[in-house]
Amino acid sequence: MEYLVNAAQMRRYDRNTSEIFHVPSVVLMERAALACLDVIKERRERMARALAQAGEPARRERVLVTAGTGNNGGDGFALGRLLLQEGWLVDFVLVGPPEKAGELTKLQMECVQAYGGVIQRVLPKKDYDIVIDALFGIGLSRPLEGAYREAVEYINRQDAWTLSVDIPSGIHSDTGQIMGAAVFADATVTFGFRKSGLFWYPGARCAGRIVCAPIGITTDSCLGELPSLFTYTEPVSALLPGRLAEGNKGTFGKVTLLAGSPGMEGAGLLCAKGAFAAGCGMVKLVGDEALRALCLRDRPETMVTDRLEEALAWADVIAAGPGMSVSGEAAEKLGYVIEHTGQPLVLDADAVTLLAKERSLYERLAGLQQDVRTRRDLVMTPHPGELARLLDVQVREVLEAPVECARRAAAAFHAVVLCKGARTAAARESGPVYLNGSGNSGMATAGSGDVLTGILASILAQGGDLFPDVCAGVYLHGLAGDRAAHRKGEYSMTAGDIAEAVPEVLCAEGAAFGAERRQGYGTL
């Protein structure tokens, strides 16, 4: 697990490290510069190997350090000075009034000059191989303009490999939004904790490869107040419920799916594929003969029945919604599930839409969930449009505040609620929020959410803790998407490819691939 922090939290942790634990700020700055130096030297070694294989000689590369007047600029000057000491060809430019430079930045500028470096005030009319972006760190709060915007646009015009220090200049450190203009980096070295602005798009796209470097700011500096956002980067197999060697198909869970309807039978099949791939013992689909024929051909392990009450009573976990339709008949089935069952319940797609459409269903489920005597484990998996309908707000509001909207819905239903997207949030009414960084654009394809519903129902059926299991399921779904993209490409992969990739991720080799794929939040 890795924490994601906002600017206010990071400033507090930085201050605590120096004031409470007596690690001087200049030491942290030097460590930050050394971490960036390691990434640059790693790139140089890769380049040297490639040139050697091509029979070409290595050459000295020209480096430009573009630095602002804040501490981020101090990091850049320290990095440039280290490169200068190692024999690199380094130019420096200060963007902003020198009199506004902070004390640490002034100190680093003096160090550069003591080693023979020249700090320019005008952007050079030269070409560079490497550009260091150290204009702004996490403190940016308003759109860039004037000389600062000009510097960002200058960096982006350079045909050079660009490294951003802590966060690409122009990216809001909390939201990931572009503040007028932003550097598009090839790599970003961030310090201590990952910044949430590097997680959300478009910040993640601007950051390139992300390296989170330990420089001495640890959870000790949180003084017991840990960040409220976290993500996973480890192999997913460590997060899933354990399997008993003596288990059987019953002990590994029975899942009933209300998914698929005439013309949408494939949704039910994809749910079943996701459920079996994630390890449950048995799956029963409530459907008609068309769905039975489809499953018999493509997933014969699936039981298909038209006996709703019997299928619901049999299940350890119930999932409803994918391809279910929003017809009156579908509403009646959902009403029966709400009123007459108590097993853990996963609601997706049409089931969420029905709750928003049929106020009586909404109020009945919310009422049952608020009463501790009738409460069940409940998971809701809407995309932004469905979540907006559920909350009766504009989609724009959900897109601007996905975590807050997911938490609002979670509070209304005493549930775990997802806000699905390129970055999916999983929230409870209180406590830390999980942000998922696995996955890719190829997963924006019909049926991807149906596979996720099956995966979640399957993991819940195997026993464990609700919120961690949901987080693990979302993470697994994204890793399977990454694996499918590796094989099929993001343009051509389908939801079925995602389901088929789940077993690959869950084997030892697949888990290792997933961990490697996660470095840089999905940047290949």
Task: Kindly tell me if the per-residue pLDDT of 481 is higher than 90.
Answer: yes
Is 232 contained in some domain?
Answer: no
Indicate whether 325 and 221 sit together in one domain. no
Asked whether residue 151 is domain-assigned, the answer is: yes
Same domain, yes or no, for 72 and 215?
yes
Beta-bridge mates of residue 346? 319, 379
Whether residue 356 is contained in a domain is answered as yes
What confidence score (pLDDT) does residue 516 get?
52
Place of tokens 């020198």: 98
Provide the edge-to-edge strand list for the sheet that holds 161-165: 119-120, 89-94, 62-67, 130-134, 161-165, 187-191, 209-213
Q: Is 237 a member of any domain?
A: no
Residue 509 above 50 pLDDT? Answer: no
Q: What is the CATH number of the domain that holds 190?
A: 3.40.50.10260
Same domain, 271 and 404: yes
Domain endpoint, select from 163, 195, 227:
227
Res. 25 pLDDT band, cuts 50 70 90: very high
Task: Tell me how far apart the alpha carbons of residues 327 and 321 are, in angstroms, rounded to a whole number.
Answer: 12
Residue 75 included in any domain: yes
Q: What is the mean pLDDT of residues 219-246?
A: 92
Domain that holds residue 365: 251-518
Instruction: Pull the structure tokens for residue 267.
Output: 């949704």
Burial of 314 (C-beta count, 10 Å sphere; 0-12/13-18/19+): middle
Q: Which residue has the tokens 């069940």?
A: 376
Residue 329 within a domain: yes
- Chain segment 192-224, per-residue pLDDT in tens: 999 999 999 999 999 999 999 999 999 999 999
Q: Write down the pLDDT at residue 410.
A: 98
- Determine how β-strand 62-67 pairs with β-strand 130-134: parallel
513 has pLDDT over 50: no
Judgement on whether residues 194 and 332 belong to the same structural domain of the protein:
no
Are 322 and 220 in a shared domain? no
Q: How far apart are CA 73 and CA 298, in angstroms?
A: 59
363 and 433 inside one domain: yes
Residues in the chain, overall count: 524
pLDDT score for 511: 44
Per the CB < 8 A criterion, the answer to whether 453 and 346 are in contact is yes
What is the mean predicted confidence (pLDDT) over 449-467? 96
CA distance readout (Å), 365 to 168, 301, 348, 352: 45, 32, 14, 11
Is the N-terminal amide bond of 57 cis, ω within 30° of 0? no
Read off the pLDDT of residues 124-157 as tens digits, 9 standing for 90 and up: 999 999 999 999 999 899 999 999 999 999 999 9
Question: How many CB atoms sit inside 10 A of residue 445's CB?
Answer: 18
Q: What share of the chain is helix, strand, coil (3-state, %, to 5)?
A: 50, 15, 35
CATH assignment of the domain containing 296: 3.40.1190.20
Instruction: Specify the pairing of strand 254-258 against strand 345-347.
Output: unpaired
Give yes or no for residue 244 having a pLDDT over 90: no
Summarize the confidence of residues 149-178 as an average pLDDT: 97
pLDDT at 31 over 50: yes
Closest CA to 275 of 294, 303, 247: 303
DSSP 287: -
pLDDT in tens, 350-390: 999 999 999 999 999 999 999 999 999 999 999 999 999 99
Which of 192, 227, 262 is the endpoint of a domain?
A: 227
- Rounded to two decimals, the pTM is 0.92
Q: Are residues 278 and 136 in the same domain?
A: no
Chosen domain end from 167, 195, 227: 227
Residue 23 pLDDT more than 90? Answer: yes
In a domain, 365, yes or no: yes
Regarding whether 217 and 93 lie in a shared domain, the answer is yes
User: Are 361 and 423 within one domain?
Assistant: yes
Q: How far is CA 5 from the centre of its chain?
A: 13
Give the Cα separation of 155 and 149 in Å (integer): 10
Domain match, 163 and 273 both: no
**Contact call for residues 286 and 512 (beta carbons, < 8 A):** no
At residue 348's C-alpha, the angle toward residues 495 and 317, to 5°, is 100
Mean pLDDT of 288-304: 94
Distance CA 496, CA 151 (A): 46
User: What was the pLDDT predicted at 57?
Assistant: 87
The two three-digit tokens of residue 500, written as one number: 């088929």
* Share of residues in the chain with pLDDT > 70 (%): 97
Per-residue pLDDT tens digits for 76-116: 999 999 999 999 999 999 999 999 999 999 999 999 999 99
Q: Are 337 and 318 in contact (CB under 8 A)?
A: yes
The per-residue pLDDT for range 488-507, each reduced to its tens digit, is: 999 999 999 999 999 999 98
What does DSSP assign to residue 317? E
Q: State residue 59's pLDDT score.
A: 83
Q: Number of folded domains in the chain?
A: 2
Beta strands in 297-340 (DSSP E): 303-305, 317-320
- What is residue 443's DSSP assignment? G
- Residue 2 belongs to a domain: no
pLDDT tier, 247 (very low <50, low <70, confident <90, very high otherwise): confident
Residue 14 CA to residue 12 CA, distance in Å, equals 5
Mean pLDDT of the chain: 94
Q: Give the side-chain half-sphere CA count within 13 A for 15.
A: 6
**Same domain assignment for residues 405 and 499:** yes
The torsion angles phi and psi of 336, rounded to 5 degrees, stand at -65, -40
pLDDT tens per residue, range 254-277: 999 999 999 999 999 999 999 999
Neighbours of 235 (CB within 10 A): 20
Query: Do 440 and 349 sit in the same domain of this protein?
Result: yes
